[in-house]
Homo-oligomer: A and B are copies of this chain.
Amino acid sequence: MSSHAPMPAAERLAEPMRSRWSPSVFDARHRLTADQLGDVIEAARWAPSWGNIQPWAFLVLERDGAGHDVLLDHLSRGNRSWVPQASAVVLAAAKVAADPDDATDKGVKGEAESCYDLGQAAAHLTLQATALGLAVHQFGGFDKDAVATALGVPSHYRLLTGIALGRHGDPDRADDDTAAREQRERRRRPAETFVHAGAWGRAWSPATTGSTR
């Protein structure tokens, strides 16, 4: 993919993790094929799932298609400049309780576990899209209650994110803020601040491998 934002020290990762980033410039003339949508959904479908409950649901909103205008009406200010150009947005929802209208529904493990599994399915969808050469950018900034109501998401599902999919556009055709946004250096916390070895508070590093035995 072109115009990759800087991503220090990720060269060691396998594809498609290595090439994944979140572009903000989408080509508004591009449309997804049925095969592309089918493949990204299939990847989500095969994500790991606690007890195989698969507590996830997706709502496909194609640009200029049904439901897309509802999402655009409820985007946060920061997302209004770039989300509309994406070929489609896949909304991701976690099942957080049993279906109240289905006495046979055994429900879910818990809200935390459902959101964790939804994150895994969204990551698989995102990585499959990356492997297909698509641009993909997850976002949380929209009025989820309003969108859920307008699109009929039932109350035992919790809408969490949108996943914008499409073809990376020409930054020279984007407004300055959007073009600059995707070129910001990508930063992550150092591993030693969030990885522990053997017990909490003992910072993990490659050198600790084997040392606690």
Contacts and interface: CB of A to CB of B under 8 A. Distances in A.
B60 A195 contact: yes
A34 B113 contact: no
Contact of A9 (B22, B42, B54, B67): B42
Interface range on chain A (Cβ under 8 Å from partner)? 35 or more
A99 to B, nearest CB: 12
B123 A47 contact: yes
Interface stretch (A100-108, A173-181, A184-192): A184-192
Interface in A3-21: 7, 9-10, 12-14, 16-17, 20
Contacts of A131: 14, 17
B128 A60 contact: no
A94 interface: yes
Nearest to A187: B52
A13 B198 contact: no
Nearest to A31: B210
B191 A45 contact: yes
Nearest to A208: B60
Contacts of A196: 57-60
A134 to B, nearest CB: 11
A116 B160 contact: yes
Given A113-B140, A119-B116, A122-B116, A13 B46 contact: yes
Contacts of A212: 62, 65-67
Contacts of A10: 42, 46
Interface of A: 7, 9-10, 12-14, 16-17, 20, 22, 31-35, 37-39, 41-43, 45-48, 50-52, 54, 56-62, 64-68, 94, 109, 111-113, 115-120, 122-124, 126-128, 131-132, 138, 140, 151-154, 158, 160-161, 186-189, 191, 194-202, 204, 206-210, 212-213
Given A14-B127, A65-B212, A67-B199, 6 more contacts: A45-B188, A50-B161, A54-B188, A59-B197, A59-B198, A94-B116
